[in-house]
Chains A and B, each alone.
Chain A
């Protein structure tokens, strides 16, 4: 037996393992969005009134490198040292109110995810600094968890007075080949469009490989006869700053992929067109005792539900660290969820009613469908005053005599023959036309 006291077992992680765990689950597209989130937080710090006009973010990527440059205020050497480059959030750090990056991992995770070399350079009114990291080199120095300062250069930020420049090179192999495809760049543009919708509407300009991204606008029907439901309340359970919640549920165009729930946290869209049990769909079987929604079906392709969470304290709104999903255990989410399901019910009932009416009267003659067709749409962002859901009052719309549906099958060949003979395009039209003809003959 050895007399010497054995050394204690070390459980400190190797840097390689740490980086690997950090970047494992984040999709590349999300990493790009994370970096934009940082710019948005900069913009929020710079413009308390949320008017972002004049601020812009330029993103370029190719098989060789990724760059993102903004003029959204930059951050100081102190913030870089004590916060921006540290893994995790120091409790002492006071962050921008209403921010969208609160976990202290976004930027680092994005940089490590993309490549093996990165430069971050930032300029504020008083400060100008740069950090340059070779990841392999950094990983090889086991106990040194610092990043080296380097000298700022004049050409990176060019004419931007206050802003941040980030470049990642020596891209990881999967990253490089993904950056090369047009599909990736289209997806990035599409997700910026939807996820940063509100910030772009407020004037922030985002360019991806030179082309400007415009915000996608979510519009639903809103008129005196057909009103979406809007409900507002505040949750202070769980301590800390209260969270303001606004739920809007209504009717849109019948586009299956746009139907579902949209979840917006502090202006950042977390889920779009969600139709999973997490947002209440298809809860019937397992949770018969709770209020619930049916499983999503294309019949509900007109359904649009939007729930906004806003809080000065970003850690209170119910998102996961990647901002790709909601945090189901969050009490704020649970409070909102119960209302979402109840409010959605009214709208789904209306959709079901509309469907039945179209069956009974035909698409062109259904009174409710007529109201819908003549209604105009409004952007959900403008629906801020509480109101109850209002469906067209059936007694007020002129009702045509109800129709009876006739359904029958006939041999393919014969239907084709009649299509030609009657000069119509669908089997349905063959049925209707032949009915009309026989009716006319018989009535004389």
Chain B
């Protein structure tokens, strides 16, 4: 069953904050070309939350949503803007039909864990994307598919590990153990595999480029981890030619509020606070000294979480008292 039938995307606060942080990452891309001229390709689902946000906040007009559901009518009816194109079908097939010649933003926002199909999508996109293109990949990192697969056959984790190795061993060097297929270690392993895959694709593209300046490199801008029911992670990469190193430096990703340095992991953690507490803490922000914030008993760890994230949270309102 498609996940849009299970989850109302508008209601997930961590995802919402994550999306708004992504929007700020994208706003840094202007040294390559005006951000509003980027093409955005994503998985809009029924809600098109990312499409709405990036159109409103960044002015992006050329937008393509990939949708594998067969319910065409309903998806078309939910398009937020007429400039959003929906390509129906499997991403493996439809990604190949997109024109990647101008700088693009592609957000492969999967619900599932790493698979061969994910790597194929990466291959199709990264083998064509032009300099200045941003590639984001969201994966479920709670548990590898192979764990479920072997459990469904009554096999133990040894078999899951072997299955995983037999599929992905090209892309990681270290030995792996069964806990590598769950949670934080699995997030790290997934990141390593995705990165190796992109590097491999670019190395192939670089063969035969006489001019060193035209060689493509990939930079990991940052990674996000968040949980809305499942542990999820988003890996964000920028692909550019060596001759555009200066434009890349000018993007100044490290100056984003939520980043200490390029390549950081941003943990999007939701504090447990009431609306009243939120209003109280918010009125004392921003501040350099979080410990100076006065509340009636909200734990400091929650205040810290909130201070990091409050700019990106939805505006809560209560419609019923």
**CB nearest to A256 among chain B residues:** B166
Q: Which applies to chain A's interface (DSSP): helix, strand, loop or mixed? A: helix
Knowing A173-B208, A186-B171, A186-B172, say if A254 contacts B155 (CB, 8 Å). yes
- A185 CB-CB contact with B under 8 Å: yes
B:187-246 near A, CB below 8 Å: 196-197, 199-200, 203-204, 206-208
The distance in angstroms between the C-alpha atoms of A173 and B173, with both chains bound, is 24
The B113-168 residues at the A interface (CB cut-off 8 A) are 152-155, 158-159, 162-163, 166-167
Judging by beta carbons under 8 Å apart, are B169 and A253 in contact?
no
With a cutoff of 8 Å between Cβ atoms, the chain A residues found around residue B317 in the complex are none
Q: Which of B169, B203, B207 has the most CB of A within 10 A?
A: B203
Q: How many B residues are at the interface, by size bracket?
A: 20 to 34
Q: How far is the CA of A258 from the CA of B159 in the complex (A)?
A: 11
How many Å lie between the Cα of A257 and that of B162 in the bound state? 9
| Contacts A/B (CB < 8 Å), 5 sampled | A177-B207, A183-B199, A186-B169, A254-B159, A416-B5
User: In whole Å, how far is A304's beta carbon from the nearest beta carbon of chain B?
Assistant: 13
B205 — nearest CB in chain A belongs to which residue? A177
Nearest CB to that of A419 among chain B residues?
A: B1
**Which one of A178, A253, A258 contacts B155 once the chains associate, using CB atoms below 8 Å?**
A253
- Whether B163 lies near A255 (C-beta < 8 A) is yes
Contact among B154, B163, B167, B197 for A364, CB-based, below 8 A: B154
B-side residues, CB < 8 A to A, are 1, 5, 152-155, 158-159, 162-163, 166-167, 169-173, 196-197, 199-200, 203-204, 206-208
- Given A187-B170, A211-B173, the answer on whether A182 and B196 have CB atoms closer than 8 Å is yes
**Structural contact, A363 and B162, CB atoms closer than 8 A:** no
* Separation of A180 and B166 alpha carbons in the complex (Å): 23
- Give the 9 A-B residue pairs with the shortest CB-CB distance, closest first: A257-B166, A183-B200, A181-B203, A363-B154, A177-B203, A255-B162, A182-B196, A253-B159, A181-B200
> A412–B5 Cα gap in the complex (Å)?
10
CA of A211 to CA of B172, assembled, Å: 13
B159 touches A255 (CB 8 A): yes
Q: Does A174 contact B (CB under 8 A)?
A: yes
Min distance, Cβ B221 to any Cβ of chain A, angstroms: 20
| B207 A173 Cβ-Cβ under 8 A | yes
A189: Cβ under 8 A from any B Cβ: yes
Smallest CB separation, A174 vs chain B (Å)? 5
Decide: A180 near B203, CB < 8 A? Known: A186-B170, A189-B173, A257-B167: yes
Report the count of interface residues on A (CB-CB < 8 A): 28
Say yes or no for A190: interface residue by CB 8 A criterion. yes
Binary interface encoding of chain A residues 368-397 relative to chain B, with 1 for a CB under 8 A from any of its CBs, else 0: 010001000000000000000000000000
Residues of B within 8 A of A256 (CB): 166
Q: How far is the CA of A178 from the CA of B5 in the complex (A)?
A: 44
The docked-state distance in angstroms from the alpha carbon of A363 to that of B155 is: 10
Task: Give the chain B neighbours of A369 by CB distance below 8 A.
Answer: 154
Which B residues touch A189, using CB under 8 A?
173
Using Cβ atoms and an 8 Å threshold, which residues of chain A touch B171?
A: 182-183, 186
Residue of B5, B158, B170 ringed by the most chain A CB atoms within 10 A: B170
With A177-B206, A178-B203, A183-B200 known as contacts, the answer to whether A253 contacts B173 (CB < 8 A) is no
In the complex, chain A residues whose CB is within 8 Å of the CB of B166: 255-258
Give Cα A416 to B154, complex, Å: 23
Bound-state Cα–Cα, A254 to B163, Å:
9
Closest Cβ of chain A to B173, distance in Å, is: 5
Task: Considering the complex, give the chain A residue whose CB is closest to the CB of B162.
Answer: A255
**Given contacts A258-B162, A363-B154, is CB(A190)–CB(B207) below 8 Å?**
no
- For window 174-225 of A, CB contacts with B under 8 Å fall at 174, 177-178, 180-187, 189-190, 211
A190 to B171, CA, bound (A): 11
The answer to whether B207 touches A174 (Cβ under 8 A) is yes
A180-B203 Cα distance, complex, nearest whole Å: 8
Across-interface contacts of B169 in A (CB, < 8 A)? 186, 190
**Bound Cα distance from A30 to B79, whole angstroms:** 52
Picked from B158, B203, B207, the residue with its CB within 8 Å of the CB of A253 is B158
Pairwise interchain contact A190-B170, C-beta atoms closer than 8 A: yes
List residues of chain B with CB within 8 A of the CB of A253. 155, 158-159, 162
Q: Which of A154-185 contact B (CB under 8 A)?
A: 173-174, 177-178, 180-185
Residues of B within 8 A of A412 (CB): 1, 5
Given the complex of chains A and B, what is the CA–CA distance between A257 and B196 in angstroms?
Answer: 21
Complex: how many Å from CA A174 to CA B159?
37
List the B side residues contacting A181 at CB < 8 Å. Answer: 196, 199-200, 203
Residues of A within 8 A of B197 (CB): 183
Q: What's the minimum C-beta distance from A421 to chain B, rounded to whole angstroms? A: 15
Bound complex: CA A186 to CA B167 (Å): 13
Chain A residues with CB under 8 A of B1: 412, 416
Q: Provide the residues of chain A in CB contact with B167, threshold 8 Å.
A: 257
How far, in whole Å, are A190 and B167 apart by their CA atoms in the complex? Answer: 12
Task: Tell me the smallest distance from the CB of A195 to a CB of chain B, in Å.
Answer: 14
| B208 contacts across to A, CB distance below 8 A | 173-174
Name which residue of chain A comes closest to B174, CB basis: A211
Could you tell me the distance between the alpha carbons of A211 and B153 in the complex, rounded to whole angstroms?
A: 35
Chain B nearest CB: distance from A168 CB in Å?
18
The residues of A that contact B173 with a CB separation of less than 8 Å are 182, 185-186, 189, 211
Q: Which residues of the other chain, A, contact B170 by a CB distance below 8 angstroms?
A: 183, 186-187, 190
**A39-66, CB < 8 A from B:** none
Which residues of A are found within 8 Å of B152, using beta-carbon distances?
Answer: 426
**In whole angstroms, how far apart are the Cα atoms of A428 and B236 in the complex?**
38
In whole Å, how far is A3's beta carbon from the nearest beta carbon of chain B?
51
Residues of the B chain whose Cβ atoms lie less than 8 Å from the Cβ of A426? 152
Give Cα A183 to B119, complex, Å: 13
CB distance from A115 to the nearest CB of B (A): 15
Q: What are the residues of chain B within 8 A of A183 when measuring CB–CB? A: 170-171, 196-197, 199-200
> Once bound together, how far apart are the Cα atoms of A253 and B62, in whole Å?
49
In the complex, A301 Cα to B95 Cα: how many Å?
32
Contacts of A190 in B (CB 8 A): 169-170
- Among the interface residues A177, A184, A416, which one has the most CB atoms of the partner chain B within 10 A? A177
